[in-house]
Amino acid sequence: MNTIVYNDDNWLFPNQPLKTHDISYDDIQYLLNCADIDDRWADNIQKMVQDRDEHPEKRGDFIIDEFRVMNASGTTILFPYGDRIITFCSKRQFFRGENQDFPYSIPSLRRKTMGMSKKQEELMRTVANMRIWQFTKLLWNNINVVPYWEAKLSDVNYKALAQHYGFDTNLLDLTNDFRIALFFATCKYVPEQDCFRPLTEQEINENHKYGIIYHAPNWVLDFISPGGSSEWYFQHMNDEDRWYGLDNGDLDGMAFQIGYQPLMRCHHQSGYVYPLRYGVSLNEDRRFERMRFKQSVELSQWVFKMMDGGKKVFPQEGITEIRDILIQIQNTKRFSYDDLMRAYDMDRVNKELFPTVDDVKKELEEQGYYIEDDEVQYLLDEKALESVNEKYDGKDLLKPIGGRLHFKSEDKRYRDERCMEIYGKMI
């Protein structure tokens, strides 16, 4: 028998913040069953929205209708960090899975800069963002679907894509699907093959005795939920025209749906990004429930098989064939002045620490980084690049979204403007 149950507010352990709760395999099965129920709930929302579109006379309360549209697949939403994204179906829960009992749960870049001075930490954030700008240029200049996607469908969240392809950021991954969190909590990433596999008995005995699942109700964290964003809106209600940084602390502690992107990995994982440059670790955050379970080879193999050998979560698609270039960018110390300018301006380098971009340049060069006038060139394998583009060129990009988009007039106008900027004509 399972020992947990969701209450009316979708908490599993009400009034027990900051406690680690041991759960059984029966509890895991209960949460898997609830994931199926959440799928049906999301499908019902989608059907309601489709019926609303087809029968305008049936529209009811405006606020309820708008909330349903935002939680359905195919809706364009503008976030405060500047991107317009296309939603996938929202659900009622958030999860994060970790395959061992870490003492804290914080983003990769923050882990690497712990203990540094504020000035050095800001330099390392600048380096990480310059690498992401190189990644952005790589996609834009070589992967045909990327500029086409921005011209016709939505903005591309390059920082979220970079996070999902191994770059250091101040973002944590969350998912609205318990099955995906369970996969990451029971399987192990193999960087050499860029894939996952089940845990071994030796790994479980040495470092992976327990798996961890973090949980929070959607309404507590989701930026498009009134409960998740009301406090932030209250604090910033007079700053409507300000642009906010996704990784500089402005938006810490809220979950932002990545939505559909031109590369498949993010929506396969029902992915959200959770900015956390300064905020407390998940295990110290009263809004998250922390569950712990005993690992076993049998459980790991069963989950791995349930997720089709990892393909449902971590498809071998997209840019994996040029992964050698991604690794080079993730470790480079050579950047263009344009990379530096973008990181300084677009990623909002702290002007109190570095009043000018040349102040950053001087500090970086003193630490062994190279800032050059010309763009840094990477040698791409033409056959591998052709193979990547063949996976997308000519495909029906609306099919995974459900075949329809919900554009408001201002979003459609903005998309037409981007199309003209990119191609010089409407396509």
Q: What is the dihedral of CA 180, 184, 187, 192, to 10 degrees?
A: 110
Lookup result for tokens 């009811």? 60
Provide CB contacts within 8 A for 278, sequence distance 6+.
249, 252
What's the mean pLDDT in 106-129? 97
Element (H, E) at 391: none
pLDDT band of residue 226 (cuts 50, 70, 90) is confident
> How confident is the model over 122-171, as pLDDT tens digits?
999 999 999 999 999 999 999 999 999 999 999 999 999 999 889 999 99
With a cut of 70, say whether residue 62 has pLDDT above it. Answer: no
Q: In what order do the strands lie in the sheet with 171-175?
A: 20-22, 289-294, 210-217, 93-98, 171-175, 271-275, 256-257
With a cut of 80, say whether residue 384 has pLDDT above it. Answer: yes
The pLDDT assigned to 283 comes to 95
pLDDT band of residue 346 (cuts 50, 70, 90) is very high
With a cut of 90, say whether residue 402 has pLDDT above it. Answer: no
Rg, Å, the chain Cα set: 22
Quote the crossing angle between the two packed helices 145-152 and 118-142, to the nearest 10°: 90
Phi then psi for residue 73, to 5 deg, are: -80, 140
Q: Which two tokens stand for residue 77?
A: 């939403």
Q: What is the rounded CA–CA span in Å between residue 200 and residue 206?
A: 10
Residues in the chain: 427
> How confident is the model over 231-270, as pLDDT tens digits?
788 877 777 667 788 998 999 999 999 999 998 766 677 8
Provide CB contacts within 8 A for 219, sequence distance 6+.
9, 10, 92, 225, 226, 227, 228
As beta bridge partners, residue 210 has 294
Q: What is the rounded CA–CA span in Å between residue 127 and residue 364?
A: 9
The pLDDT > 70 percentage for the chain reads 96
Q: What is the dihedral of CA 216, 217, 219, 223, to 10 degrees?
A: 40
pLDDT band of residue 361 (cuts 50, 70, 90) is very high
Q: Which of 70 and 4 is assigned the larger pLDDT?
A: 4
Beta strand pairing call for 20-22 and 256-257: unpaired
144: amino acid identity, one letter: N
Beta strand pairing call for 271-275 and 171-175: antiparallel
> How confident is the model over 165-196, as pLDDT tens digits?
899 999 999 999 999 999 999 999 998 888 89
> How confident is the model over 269-316, as pLDDT tens digits?
789 999 999 999 999 999 999 999 999 999 999 999 999 998 888 776
The pLDDT > 90 percentage for the chain reads 72
The pLDDT assigned to 208 comes to 95
Highest mean pLDDT among 28-37, 40-49, 320-329: 28-37
Q: Show the CA angle centred on residue 261, arms to residues 256 and 264, nearest 5°.
A: 115
| HSE-CB of 422 using CA atoms within 13 angstroms | 21
Q: Which of 64 and 325 is assigned the larger pLDDT?
A: 325
Of 87, 404, 33, the residue nearest 266 (C-alpha): 87
The pLDDT assigned to 266 comes to 65
Are the beta carbons of 322 and 263 closer than 8 angstroms? no
Q: What is the rounded CA–CA span in Å between residue 265 and residue 313?
A: 7
In 232-351 the beta strands, taken as DSSP E runs, fall at 256-257, 271-275, 289-294, 334-336
Are the beta carbons of 332 and 131 closer than 8 angstroms? yes
Instruction: Name the average pLDDT for the chain.
Output: 91
Query: Worst-scoring range by mean pLDDT, 15-24, 226-235, 356-365?
Result: 226-235
The pLDDT assigned to 63 comes to 61
With a cut of 70, say whether residue 383 has pLDDT above it. Answer: yes
Q: What is the rounded CA–CA span in Å between residue 190 and residue 166?
A: 12
So where are the chain's domains? 20-107+170-315
What's the mean pLDDT in 209-230? 92
Query: Worst-scoring range by mean pLDDT, 70-79, 350-359, 416-425?
Result: 70-79
> How confident is the model over 71-88, as pLDDT tens digits?
888 899 999 898 999 999
What Cα–Cα distance (Å) separates residue 413 from each residue in 100, 122, 151, 290, 417?
47, 37, 11, 44, 6
The pLDDT assigned to 225 comes to 86
The pLDDT assigned to 61 comes to 63
What's this model's pTM, rounded to 2 decimal places? Answer: 0.94
